[in-house]
Amino acid sequence: MRKTLIIVICAVIVISSAVYYLFYEDTTLQTWKTVVRDQDIPEEFNGYKIAHISDYHNAESKRLNNMLLRSLRDEKPDIIVITGDLIDSRRTDVDRAVKLIKDIKNIAPIYYVVGNHEARCEAYAELKSRMEAEGVRIFENQYDVIERNGAQINLAGIEDPSCHPEILVLEDVIIRDEIQLLDIVNGNYTVLLSHRAEAIDCYADNGVDLAFTGHAHGGQIRIPFIGGLIAPAQGFFPKYTDGLYTKGDTQMIVSRGIGNSLFPFRINNRPELVIATLSNH
């Protein structure tokens, strides 16, 4: 009887610890701060702070959302960029997505591009309309010129390749064509918003200086000293899951994202807010 009781107690402790760990990993925000250094960044943009949100997926945790809102207020970014999958096509909640926008819109201007979940979701038309009503700038293969103290950089955004019906056309080809459609000829330092981390070669081959991306969910399960286990479009042991990467003259930031989609848990892979500060030093 005593031995059985000990086994039950141990089992309860193990199960409770596992449940708490999964809860903690899914609902505890981590803010990653990085400095993007490039001599082509205008002097006037030194210290320019970009907050990056990706793969929100209708995150339901009040604890997580409060952390996100508090961190954004504390960081006081110059702009907020969202690189797709604000909603989840399997359990779409437009009201929740718009609530996030309303909560953060007074912190800084918001710029947004669609991900694959918006591309296949009928509710995206409503989401787009409501976000635009809240002042969000939605890039659909377009760019704006951002000015600061007389200097300029380009801020551009492309649609997810899932938005296009060309079934037999490779995603890399679609992304390349979208970047070329931007027709940027002014020579400014160019920041690109795109959902796809795996397309770094396209960004590097087409004159992008800095890309903000997501989609990989940090590899979902992160193995110490190895990295992410699996990511959409990259498969097992993906190459681009989080952090800052360099390819030629191009730098790319990959966000681990905020929410979950098909796989409901994060392991060793907490939700992430990225704060990137520009510097030409």
Of 256, 249, 232, the residue nearest 25 (C-alpha): 256
Q: Give the integer Cα–Cα distance in Å for 242 and 279.
A: 21
The pLDDT, as a whole number, for residue 22 is 85
CB 162 within 8 A of CB 119: yes
The pLDDT, as a whole number, for residue 167 is 64
The burial of 133, by beta-carbon neighbours within 10 Å (0-12 exposed, 13-18 middle, 19 or more buried), is given as: exposed
The pLDDT, as a whole number, for residue 195 is 97
Encoded tokens for 20: 């708490």
In the β-sheet with 190-196, what is the strand arrangement from edge to edge?
142-148, 151-157, 190-196, 210-214, 250-254, 243-247
250, β-bridge pairs: 247
**Three-point CA angle 140, 146, 150, nearest 5°:** 160
- Whole-Å CA distances, 181 to 79, 114, 195: 24, 17, 17
The pLDDT, as a whole number, for residue 168 is 59
Which pTM was predicted? 0.94
Residue in the structure block whose two tokens are 């681009």: 240
The pLDDT, as a whole number, for residue 1 is 67
Residues of the chain with pLDDT under 70: 1, 167-168
Query: What would the pLDDT profile of 234-266 be if each residue is shown by its tens digit?
Result: 999 999 999 999 999 999 999 999 999 888 889
Structural domains of the chain ordered from first start = 2-279 (3.60.21.10)
